[in-house]
Structure 1
Amino acid sequence: MNSESIRSDDSYSDVILAKMQKKKRPKNQEFVGFKEKKKEFKQQKRKWEEEKAMNKIRKKMEAEQKAKEEEDLKKSQREKFGRSWTVSIALPGSIVENAQSDEEKTNLSGYIARAATVFCVDEIIVFDELKSITRNEDKEFVNLAVGKRRNGCIMLAKILQYLDCPQYLRKSLFPQQPDLKFAGALHPLNAPHHLRSDVWNDYREGVVRNIAVKDGKGSYVDIGLQKDCQIDKHLLPGVKVTVKIDPNSKEAKRKYIGEAVAPSAPRTEQGQYWGYKTRLVTCLSEVFSGCPYDGGYDITVGTSERGDNVDTYSFPSPFKHLLIVYLNTCPEQGSATIRTEEALWISLSALRPKISASQKSSAST
């Protein structure tokens, strides 16, 4: 082997040895570097977790603040636009018994529904003063009148409920039945909640559809428009529900988004008249004991031709829930008798300005 080849091999070995020495580090140096990196990683992780926790707290506080602002806004809107007070009327179911036929009874019921809607009555209570109905084990009303196919109280209550229901929901909520045989021929109430399909309102009445939804998702509701509305709650199919629609979903292609609210929400939130609720009771005392409002009726007006003149009457104080019982307030009447359905229009016409004056005086104080 010549000298040149030996020098070449030596130089190659030197290069390899230099590379190995360059890569090789002391073990203690490697251990110290790993500990420092681990410590840095833990510190960084702790910092990330603190930032994450702070962001979570900040988002929670922002959500609470936003919810409070929305609630304050709703409260101010309720105080400015909403209506908290209500008017209820109590009628004896026997008033339809004077009619000679089912068709006349239906027309009379429609006459009462029209009066209640025109004067923005919130509740109609039909009470049985003849002990002709009772409740069975399922809390359903049963006719006790002997020899009568239909009971006047039950028939009046059903027709009132039927007329208050928007037309697009009647087929779903009211199957064919004898008490409603002639109800379809009555004039519509044209109440504010009887909305046409081309009219937009933040609130609509609807019925829950039988459509399967994923867990955690709300039901679909038929609200009388071309698209259904998905609400925030899961309800049983066939249930009637008042829906508040999100205006941001107005232009949605597939569905509207909304929430289920109390039937009184349109009245209390925006001051809209939203029809009347019908309540059937077995006796006069149940009119008061079954009152749906907290605190009951704070003012009750019993009307009669033997009472004080309505022209000189004024409410003693602003009321929350007014109840008018019977209804005959015509002073100096020319007829010996005034039918209850006639007295209804007379009484509500006479009391309406007094009701408005009472609430205006409350708002100004």
Structure 2
Amino acid sequence: MESKMNKKYEENGKLKSWSEINKERKRKRKEYKEKALENKRMKEMEKEKDVKQNEKIKSDTEEIKEISTLSIALPGSILENAQTEELRTYLAGQIARSACLYQVDEIIVFDDYGDEEKIKTSSIDDDFGLKTVRQSCGQLARILQYLECPQYLRKHFFPIHRDLKYSGLMNPLNAPHHLSSKDQFEYREGVVTSKPIKEGKGSIVYIGLRQDAHVDKLLVEGSRCTVKLDTKTIDTKKLKGVVVNPEAPRKTTGVYWGYKVRLAKTLSQIFSQCPYKDGYDLSIGTSDKGSSIDSFECPSYKHLLVVFGGVQGLEFALENDQTLKETEPELLFDSYLNALPSQGSKTIRTEEAILITLAGLRSKLNPKFPPTVFKGSDDANSSASANETIEKVNESTEKADEMSRFD
């Protein structure tokens, strides 16, 4: 009688002994283990490759020189001079447009009435936390933030609010970072989604494309971030990128990447709460009582601040600030300028003063660290240079049929 080991067993129509079957199973197990080890090795190599690629992208981004900045400050009370809510909204939109045209990096909205009692207040979150301010200041800041935000992100950061009721009346900024789904650029603004992802694999960010981006860092859900895309993965199944500093696009490519909004409760807080380490090294006040802008010679600066007064001028703001001891506003600034000598009207509105002053200063500015010039652009100071270059990259930045009045 045959032993169990030599017993014949029919497999796939062929007779095999148990010893042959066991040998075959051992061989398959060995092949499976070798294949598993190879797959593990390949995954580790791919992970190392991704880490190196991310480090390369980061190093390319981090190796950027410092650039000089331009900040403007204006009182939120100018909205109270508008007769209707529609006019208030449109006025705020004009200010946002002016800031975008002249590539302003920071807009400070301050309260020139100081600490008044029994006033209507509004709570708003700027880059430095939640603040409670005068209603007109809050409304102006909210509209400025809304217009700066790319269109595809607005529903994530701006719920329905009375301050944005007439946002459809405002003209779109058409800023370079307001990219449509058809535009191609290495940087994009995005919002962190709640989509599940394996631990240690970073986050998934919605960047206005059909395909979300996988980034290297674990971020808080719902937060806004700037993503530098890995161009090699744009046409692949998995779009990858790294999270970079919001200033990186401007510093590395020269593209104007929008402005930040900061709230100040008094005139003195414009200076005391400056986000730059060494403060503003050049400050300019504007008034019809100042010296002519025509004779102004701009010194070299790192961070420039231009301050505009409201209906009653900077004198009114200084009078209501209990912190400042100066009696004349010109003592607060390095230069005190009249942007339009021999003006035809008795008064110049703040939104007009912003355009007039920035236009007058444009050819006189002397930044210590000028922004990078876009490739293909010959004029470093041209406010249209960034737009012209990104149009060459995208070929379709302005699609009127895709951009509504709420843009």
| Structure whose residues are more often helix by fraction | 1
The aligned residue for residue 179 of structure 2 is 195
Aligned-residue offset at 1:330: 1.2
Question: Residue 72 of structure 2 contacts residue 307 of structure 2 at CA under 8 Å; is this kept in 1?
Answer: yes
SS at match of 1:221: strand
> Larger Cα Rg: Structure 1 or Structure 2?
1
Deviations 1:289-338 (A, max 9, x none): 1111221111101111111110110112x211100011661111111110
Q: CA RMSD in A?
A: 2.7
Structure 1 residues 217, 354: closer, same or farther in 2, change over 3 A?
same
* Displacement of 1:102: 1.1
How big is each residue's C-alpha offset from its partner over 1:209-230, in whole Å with a ceiling of 9 and x where there is no partner? Answer: 1112111011111100110001
TM-score scaled by length of structure 2: 0.65
Change in CA separation of 1:230 and 1:275 when aligned onto 2, cut-off 3 Å: same
List alignment gaps of at least 5 residues for structure 2.
1-47, 310-337, 374-407
Aligned partner of 2:130 among 121, 140, 163: 140
Percent identical: 49
Q: Does 1:248 align with 2:232?
A: yes
Q: Which residue, 65, 69, 73 being the options, matches 1:86?
A: 69
Q: 1:333 to 1:196 in 2, by over 3 A?
A: same
2 CA distance for matches of 1:110 and 1:274? Answer: 18
Give me the whole-angstrom Cα distance separating, in 1, the residues matched to 2:226 and 2:57: 24
Which protein is richer in strand relative to its size? 2
Q: 2:222 aligns with which of 231, 234, 238?
A: 238
Return the alpha-carbon distance in structure 1 between the equivalents of residues 289 and 111 of structure 2: 23
**Alignment match, 2:272:** 289
| Cα shift readout 1:15-51 (whole Å, capped 9, x = no counterpart) | xxxxxxxxxxxxxxxxxxxxxxxxxxxxxxxxxxxxx
Cα separation, partners in 2 of 1:250 and 1:232, compared to 1, 3 Å: same
Q: 1:231 to 1:357 in 2, by over 3 A?
A: closer
How many residues in Structure 1 have an aligned counterpart in Structure 2?
A: 284
Which range moves more in the overlay, 278-287 or 338-347? 278-287
Is the 1:208–1:236 contact (alpha carbons within 8 Å) kept by the matching residues of 2? yes
Q: Does residue 1:323 correspond to 2:305, yes or no?
A: yes
Q: Which amino acid aligns with 1:141?
A: K
Question: What is the rounded CA distance, in whole Å, between the counterparts of 1:285 and 1:135 in structure 2?
Answer: 21
Residue ranges of structure 1 left out of the alignment (5+ in a row): 1-58, 145-150
Q: Is the 8 A contact 2:201 2:216 kept in 1?
A: yes
Runs of 4+ in 1 over 2 A off after TM superposition: 66-75, 131-136, 138-144, 356-360
1:242-321 matches, cutoff 5 A? 242-253=226-237, 255-316=238-299, 318-321=300-303
For 1:135 and 1:191, how far apart are their aligned partners in 2?
27
How many angstroms apart in 2 are the aligned matches of 1:248 and 1:256?
A: 9
Contact conserved, 2:108 with 2:264, CA < 8 A, in 1? yes
* Contact in 2 for aligned 1:134/1:282 (Cα 8 Å): no
Per-residue deviation, 1:69: 12
Matches of 1:210 and 1:299, distance apart in 2: 44
